[in-house]
Chain A
């Protein structure tokens, strides 16, 4: 069972509006993919701010979606924006794996 996303809060906020949720999921997937691309391109020390901003952006939308695990990984990424490239690559791998689980969850709804 995929437990990457808990939609309880989102359902409450949207009033279980399926059409609105579908639109929000689309926006989430597009924006998350964009943030991950930025993270992927920002592992080097000269891109600390780009990494931090992308991690922050993905954290915010993950938390609002109900993807808590992804949000926590992004929090960690944001706080360690100045880490060495190998650590950032490891964090990115974890984010990508969790993002895939979230994507799978949303596309199988």
Chain B
């Protein structure tokens, strides 16, 4: 049985449960604390979906969403060995969810029966978390694309210079849907050095770090519109080959892409042929693009 709670006083509610456990004579209890900072922007619902196999294996589970800080999962009546299995399932499930920075210590295990007082002290030491749903709010352009310092610009230009010597092209995929991102990543890796990002902000960081030759860029992203990134890229590095990837066929998108001087369009569904056509076209125009960039 799964009980999900997002009440306004998560710590107080959890403390009440742990105090109750301390008064019960028997039973095996487990509490996992998952650091929210390791989950990127995963929504509460998505978290539940991914860890569902672990929750369904126990007789009683209660999940506490402590706002943007932590998630606590409390299990009752399961053996210690089973708890270890549940922890493993959760860790693997979260890794499958493509968490960008899976930390080794992202999940802390506590035994409420033995460590009840310790846990309560820990919860009391933290400011009360207010339950707040995760939101996909478009960020301001200055927040997503902060102005580059001279040093950052210099580093980027050095990376960009290395384009000429690369034996393997660098590709950046910007796609918010894990399914489509993973599919494109798997198709390209091996033949190309591939980086991938689900959002604009991380994509911009990866772009500056790697100066990719080619960018496959989705238009509708959680933190904004792919056209804004295309514009940034084409302004900073016009020789980057930018391909917009979309399931929409709107005239506005085509016009916007033209204004930003993007180099190609791929309409979903992806196919090997569509991708290869783009890559072939890049190969044919690459010398001219690089020469033009060097001149300017």
Contacts and interface: CB of A to CB of B under 8 A. Distances in A.
Looking at chain A's contact residues, is the secondary structure mostly helix, strand, loop, or mixed? helix
A87 to B, nearest CB: 21
A64 B179 contact: yes
A53 B116 CA distance: 43
Interface residues of B, number: 25
B186 interface: yes
A48 B138 CA distance: 16
Nearest to A35: B177
B179 A24 contact: yes
A64 B178 contact: no
Contact of A61 (B45, B50, B97, B180): B180
A64 B49 contact: no
27 contacts: A10-B183, A12-B271, A13-B187, A13-B272, A23-B96, A23-B182, A24-B182, A28-B179, A30-B46, A31-B179, A34-B45, A34-B46, A34-B49, A53-B136, A53-B220, A57-B177, A60-B180, A60-B247, A61-B180, A63-B247, A64-B179, A64-B180, A64-B268, A64-B269, A64-B270, A65-B179, A75-B247
Interface of A: 9-10, 12-14, 17, 20, 23-24, 26-28, 30-31, 33-34, 37-38, 53, 56-57, 59-61, 63-66, 71, 75
Interface of B: 43, 45-46, 49-50, 96-97, 136, 176-180, 182-183, 186-187, 220, 247-248, 268-272
